[in-house]
A and B are shown apart, each in its own frame.
Chain A
Amino acid sequence: MNAWARFRRNRLALIGLALVLVLALSAALAPWIAPYDPARQSLFEKRAKPGAKYLLGADEFGRDILSRVIYGSRIALLVGLLSAIIAVGGGLVLGTLAGFIGGWLDSVMMRAIEILLAFPYLLLALAIVAALGNGAINTTIAVGVWGVPGVTRIVRGSVLVLRETEYVGAARALGAPVAALLRRHILPNVLPGLIVYATLFMANAILLEAALSFLGLGVQPPTASWGLMVSTGRDVLLIAPHVATVPGLAIMLAVLAFNLVGDGLRDALDPRLRGST
């Protein structure tokens, strides 16, 4: 049975996939499905409760929350996916190098990682924004770069263990080339945990982008980002909770979607690995 078939049998994973599709469609078709212009303000209708006119209510400027959530899916997908790709890509390469080659390279890299981990995240973001300017893409890069040390350490840890397993040892003794070792033995065992971590990382990424946007380093007004909507809705949390909670739930659904898909991928790919010796 191949991976796709196994995936298909996993109901939760399919639900996740469906949600991801909804998200993608939302982002792609935003101008056509959003009931209002997301930047259209109507100050005297501020914080309107969900109702007939504004299905999910209005924010502090009287802008329709539903429309902003729909448009916000674009930023969420960008931030979530791109930063995860940067973090995972970078971390995978560096972690594998460190774990597999070991020795002084590992030592140097781990010290560099320690420097990066101690480096205040806010400072990193400010630096990237100062260098590249603000906006969603640059904050995404900042978030992605911030994620690299963590992934590196996780990958390195796994690679260390796998390097010492019997079948890898045997394969090396038999003279298998490094590339094949990586591709057939090590990486497939590293990937499952990594996929799960990546999907969880996306939640963090979206929330970090929220904090940065709130400080003015991310999207600029009047662009809608779920994270920024939650951050600015914080002032009125006690009297108009829907302003912050609705985008928060959107974040949760997106994270859930990717997490379900991730777990499904992980479970689907797993049995195939055991047979690879």
Chain B
Amino acid sequence: MRSLASRGLVGVLVVALAATLAPSANAQKRGGTLTIVRPTDPVSLEPNLETTAPGAWVYFNILEGLLTLDDKMQVKPSLASSYEILSPTKVRFKLRPNIKFHDGTPFNAEAVRFTYDRALKGTPPARWASLAGSLDHAEVVDNLTVDIVTREPYGPILRTLAMYCMGIVSPAAVQKLGQDFSRAPVGTGPFKFVEWKTNTHVIIERNNDYWGDKALLDRVVFKVVPEEGARMIGLQTGDADMVLIPSPAQLPALRKDPKFAVHETTGIRVVFAGLHAGLPPLDDVRVRQALLHAVDRKAILDNIMEGSAGPAMGVLAPGVFGYKDMQLDKLYPFDRAKAKALLAQAGWTPGPDGILVKGGQRLSLSWLAARGRYPKDGEITEAIQAMFKEVGVEAKVQVLEWAAVFQQVRGNPLNHHMFTLGWVTSNADADYSLYPLFHSKQAPPAGWNTSRYVNPRVDTLVEQARRSLNQTEREKLYGEVQDILAKEPVWIPVYTTKEIVVTKASVKGFHIHPVEYNLALWKTWLDR
């Protein structure tokens, strides 16, 4: 006979069990197909060949790396269960056991070694290899332990390994498919590849053998719809459940509409008007500061970006490790009088047609921009051109196709004063931006210091920060760099991107990530 106590215990357990099993009001539903529309087709679905968003959006769900960056911008273990920094040039990772690739082969240290060898030492190496710092190779210690080795101490190592393009690939699949692997990747992720019809769609489906929480959707279809207007209409007619790169002008209405959900967060890309600090008259810091005062950045954010982008506080985006608010709005508020005063101080006086002159020379700047490379890049250029005119600066804008702009901006010498560019800190670590953009030896074609900025103190700081593994120290060093850059600006940062995705209200569980490539779909489900 059972005692009262044990009967009571069983009763409690039964009730508890029933409570967990009973559907709650917001129960997740399994199943369904999510249709996503975006502007372009990927070039490839494997990270070695494709580091831009169209491919990354897909393979982020198929491949996984040792580490990952969550949507709070923290490094979290993924395929690795733990890590240990053995030396300034070596990090040891313990891998999770019993994980299989989509083709059934086991995930182990050998697969990690294979992936990194292929990426860093392959012919040709991965596209991202050159900016992975001094990442050198991976060493197998035992079946579930692998060491990542760098040539020199590399501060950003963890965030670099957490990048979206560091997914581990199945060696067996690569060997079997050869070059076709780039069109049918095999990884360990919550989704696996189904089919890719060029310029039409890519389909992925749930991996039912996934090692973690299984995805809720059955399938995801990524469709190509180049025309922005058509994408938005597709959302309204039901042809699409989710729109990537939506139309900014329609966002205010969509935010108020209960049939749709607008998911947004600050991103990690800064779009700016770069100034060639080596070309007169921009070599005079007062002129550059005057230009900053002449731009009404709020007007641009409100009227051109229309809430689809956030203010640029500095040269980095918040969320990037090492970010410091450079207080640009306080240091260089929109103030035409101040701009004119600074220019006058620098020796410029109004000429007959309103454009400033000095020593017979007009204050005329040549400006290169592309249209459509970054959101509203052509428009912000045109708006700032008009704003410059108000303070007597003439900007001769040349809008060219991106290839031509790219060629000129990477060229040496650069014969233009200004250029409209954007820069995304791909590994969310300040090193990725501050080193190639502001180190004096990184002028093109070696790096991306398109402004030809020279400051030995900044050089020392970014070099030190790159080699240090002490993250607190690094943060301090980067803070000082940004303080210096605030005093002698070489950019007019215009906006920080916002990652914005619009979905039907029936799409639930979707969390937008600040990093534009990290389109995580495994927690998403459809309420219908």
A and B touch in the complex (CB under 8 A): yes
Binding site for B on A (CB under 8 A): 39-41, 43-44, 46, 60-62, 126, 130, 134, 214-217, 220-222, 232, 234-240
Report whether B371 and A215 are in contact in the complex, using a CB–CB cutoff of 8 Å.
Answer: yes
Report whether B399 and A220 are in contact in the complex, using a CB–CB cutoff of 8 Å.
Answer: yes
A52 to chain B, nearest CB (A): 21
In the complex, what residues of B have CB within 8 A of residue A236's CB?
A: 249
Report whether A221 and B229 are in contact in the complex, using a CB–CB cutoff of 8 Å.
Answer: no
In the complex, what residues of B have CB within 8 A of residue A130's CB?
A: 404
A111 to chain B, nearest CB (A): 31
In the complex, what residues of A have CB within 8 A of residue B398's CB?
A: 134, 216, 220
B240-277 near A? 1/0 per residue, CB < 8 Å: 00000001011001000000000000000000000000
6 more A-B residue pairs beyond the given contacts A43-B383, A236-B249, with a C-beta to C-beta distance below 8 A: A60-B304, A216-B370, A216-B398, A232-B378, A238-B232, A238-B247
Partner of B300, one of A40, A43, A222, A237: A43
Binding site for A on B (CB under 8 A): 228-229, 232-233, 247, 249-250, 253, 296, 299-300, 302-304, 369-371, 378-379, 381-383, 385-386, 389, 396-401, 404
Report whether A217 and B386 are in contact in the complex, using a CB–CB cutoff of 8 Å.
Answer: no
Report whether A61 and B383 are in contact in the complex, using a CB–CB cutoff of 8 Å.
Answer: yes
Report Cα–Cα, A236/B300, bound state, in Å. 17
18 interchain pairs (CB within 8 A)? A39-B389, A43-B303, A43-B383, A44-B299, A44-B303, A46-B304, A134-B398, A134-B399, A216-B401, A217-B401, A221-B381, A221-B385, A234-B229, A235-B247, A236-B249, A238-B232, A238-B233, A240-B249
In the complex, what residues of A have CB within 8 A of residue B302's CB?
A: 43-44
Report whether A235 and B228 are in contact in the complex, using a CB–CB cutoff of 8 Å.
Answer: yes
Given contacts A41-B383, A61-B383, A61-B386, contact A221 B303 (CB under 8 A): no
Report whether A61 and B399 are in contact in the complex, using a CB–CB cutoff of 8 Å.
Answer: no
Q: Give the interface centre of A134, A221, A234 by most chain B CB atoms within 10 Å.
A: A221
A204 to chain B, nearest CB (A): 21
B109 to chain A, nearest CB (A): 49
In the complex, what residues of B have CB within 8 A of residue A214's CB?
A: 371
In the complex, what residues of B have CB within 8 A of residue A134's CB?
A: 398-400
Report Cα–Cα, A201/B303, bound state, in Å. 38
Closest residue of B by beta carbon distance from A62? B303
A54 to chain B, nearest CB (A): 15
B409 to chain A, nearest CB (A): 14
Report whether B382 and A221 are in contact in the complex, using a CB–CB cutoff of 8 Å.
Answer: yes
In the complex, what residues of A have CB within 8 A of residue B228's CB?
A: 235
In the complex, what residues of B have CB within 8 A of residue A40's CB?
A: 386
Report whether B229 and A237 are in contact in the complex, using a CB–CB cutoff of 8 Å.
Answer: yes
Report whether B232 and A46 are in contact in the complex, using a CB–CB cutoff of 8 Å.
Answer: no
Partner of B382, one of A126, A217, A222, A238: A222
B378 to chain A, nearest CB (A): 8
In the complex, what residues of A have CB within 8 A of residue B249's CB?
A: 235-236, 239-240
Report whether A220 and B371 are in contact in the complex, using a CB–CB cutoff of 8 Å.
Answer: no
In the complex, what residues of B have CB within 8 A of residue A232's CB?
A: 378-379
Report Cα–Cα, A236/B232, bound state, in Å. 12
In the complex, what residues of B have CB within 8 A of residue A222's CB?
A: 382, 385-386
In the complex, what residues of A have CB within 8 A of residue B233's CB?
A: 238
Given contacts A60-B304, A61-B383, contact A238 B250 (CB under 8 A): yes
In the complex, what residues of A have CB within 8 A of residue B371's CB?
A: 214-216
Report Cα–Cα, A94/B400, bound state, in Å. 33
B395 to chain A, nearest CB (A): 9
In the complex, what residues of B have CB within 8 A of residue A237's CB?
A: 229
Report Cα–Cα, A237/B397, bound state, in Å. 26
Report whether A221 and B399 are in contact in the complex, using a CB–CB cutoff of 8 Å.
Answer: yes
Q: Give the interface centre of B296, B379, B382 by most chain A CB atoms within 10 Å.
A: B382
Nearest 3 CB-CB pairings of A with B = A216-B399, A43-B303, A41-B386
Q: Give the interface centre of A62, A130, A239 by most chain B CB atoms within 10 Å.
A: A239
A177 to chain B, nearest CB (A): 51
Closest residue of A by beta carbon distance from B298? A43
In the complex, what residues of B have CB within 8 A of residue A44's CB?
A: 299, 302-303
Report Cα–Cα, A66/B253, bound state, in Å. 28
Report Cα–Cα, A216/B379, bound state, in Å. 12
Report Cα–Cα, A237/B250, bound state, in Å. 11
Report whether A60 and B379 are in contact in the complex, using a CB–CB cutoff of 8 Å.
Answer: yes
In the complex, what residues of A have CB within 8 A of residue B378's CB?
A: 216, 221, 232
Report Cα–Cα, A65/B401, bound state, in Å. 26
A196 to chain B, nearest CB (A): 33
In the complex, what residues of A have CB within 8 A of residue B299's CB?
A: 43-44
Report Cα–Cα, A39/B390, bound state, in Å. 12
In the complex, what residues of B have CB within 8 A of residue A46's CB?
A: 303-304
In the complex, what residues of B have CB within 8 A of residue A61's CB?
A: 304, 379, 382-383, 386
A156 to chain B, nearest CB (A): 35
Q: Give the interface centre of A61, A126, A235 by most chain B CB atoms within 10 Å.
A: A235
A74 to chain B, nearest CB (A): 19
B100 to chain A, nearest CB (A): 46
Q: Give the interface centre of A126, A214, A236, A238 by most chain B CB atoms within 10 Å.
A: A238
Report Cα–Cα, A239/B382, bound state, in Å. 22
Given contacts A43-B303, A235-B247, A238-B250, contact A215 B401 (CB under 8 A): yes
In the complex, what residues of A have CB within 8 A of residue B296's CB?
A: 43
